[in-house]
Amino acid sequence: MAQPKGGRSGLPALADWGMFIFMVLASLLGGSGQPAPDAELSALRAKYVGKTVWVYGGGDFVCSGKAAGAGIQGMFDQPVKILDIERLKGTFPVKPVKGSGVLPAQPVKNPLRVRVRLSDQFRVTSWRGYVKPKSSDCREVTETYVNQADLEKNFSLTPPNANIRQIFAEYLKNGPLSAPNSLGLTHEQLLWWRGIPDEPRGDLNTLMKAQQWLWLGPPGRGDNVFYFQNDRVVKVNVPSMGP
């Protein structure tokens, strides 16, 4: 390794000594002093940024700006565009299931934040039902994800196929308040219709092999459970509507 240059007295200048020590430490630590590249982030940006994608279950986003806090949803056949993906530094609250009305946000270190442009078909949820948003703050929204697996199990790079669209034709026509018969649906079909379940946790591959999908119901009323056999829903438990 190069030695620091000498000053007028023949001894290394103070600044040169500082640089020399820095180089030695960097060499010992196996680094160059630059931040380590984020391979996961780079791969996700290459895969998604600038791409049109579809959200399993239609998406459950939250408006920002003047309309902050208002929920906005779409149907699963309505595309969105990924504008950017960044890595947040620090610990932030992240909902493990975006559409869950029961599971609270949990602290996650260095999560991913995704900026999304929604299509014009997305509607704000309110006491009046689903209404067209009045604010541009509901057209570009951000959502936070735990990691790569969490992001990838929410977005599809390919649209729902013709078979899925045909199965849910009436549902797509009548809107989110209508509900198709779920018996006989495959894992993939149920995923497109309802989105990510509260349980089981895990990546998309884990969901597709699970024998049960569960959405937590209101306290004391039971849960919404879908039972699979040979990749088909064979039984459904629905939460009680009464006290």
- Assess whether pLDDT exceeds 90 at residue 231: yes
Q: What is the pLDDT of residue 235?
A: 95
Alpha-carbon dihedral 123, 104, 212, 181, rounded to 10 degrees: -20
Under the phi-then-psi rule, with left for phi > 0, alpha for psi from -120 to 50, and beta for the rest, what region is 130?
Answer: beta
- Sequence-distant (≥ 6) Cβ neighbours of residue 76 within 8 angstroms: 54, 55, 56, 57, 58, 160, 168, 192, 193, 195
The Cα 38–Cα 44 span in angstroms is 10
Range name among 84-98, 112-126, 199-213, 224-238 with the lowest pLDDT average: 112-126
CA distances from 228 to 1, 99, 156, 212 (A): 64, 22, 22, 6
71 and 104, same domain (yes or no): yes
Each residue's pLDDT tens digit, 132-142: 666 666 788 89
118 and 195, same domain (yes or no): no
8 A C-beta contact, residue 168 and residue 180: yes
**What is the band of 229 on the pLDDT scale with cuts at 50, 70, 90?**
very high
- What SS3 class is residue 211? coil
Each residue's pLDDT tens digit, 40-52: 999 999 999 999 9
151 and 46, same domain (yes or no): yes
Of the chain, the percentage scoring pLDDT greater than 70 comes to: 72
Whole-prediction pTM value? Answer: 0.77
130 and 195, same domain (yes or no): no
Token digits of residue 60: 């459950």
The Cα 175–Cα 48 span in angstroms is 28
Mean pLDDT of 205-227: 90
Token digits of residue 218: 């209101």
Range name among 96-105, 110-119, 198-207 with the lowest pLDDT average: 96-105
Residue 96 lies in a domain: yes
Closest CA to 41 of 103, 92, 89: 89
22 and 63, same domain (yes or no): no
13 and 49, same domain (yes or no): no
Number of domains in the chain: 3
Query: Last residue of a domain, which of 87, 122, 156?
Result: 156
**What is the band of 153 on the pLDDT scale with cuts at 50, 70, 90?**
very high
Residue 243 lies in a domain: no
Residue 15 lies in a domain: yes
Q: How far is CA 114 from the centre of its chain?
A: 8
179 and 117, same domain (yes or no): no
φ/ψ (deg, to 5) at 14 = -60, -45
φ/ψ (deg, to 5) at 164 = -65, -40
- Assess whether pLDDT exceeds 70 at residue 94: yes
77 and 142, same domain (yes or no): yes
133 and 117, same domain (yes or no): yes
Query: Last residue of a domain, which of 156, 183, 205?
Result: 156
188 and 231, same domain (yes or no): yes
* Structural domain for 186, as ranges: 175-237
Q: Is the peptide bond before 160 cis (omega within 30 degrees of 0)?
A: no
- What SS3 class is residue 157? coil
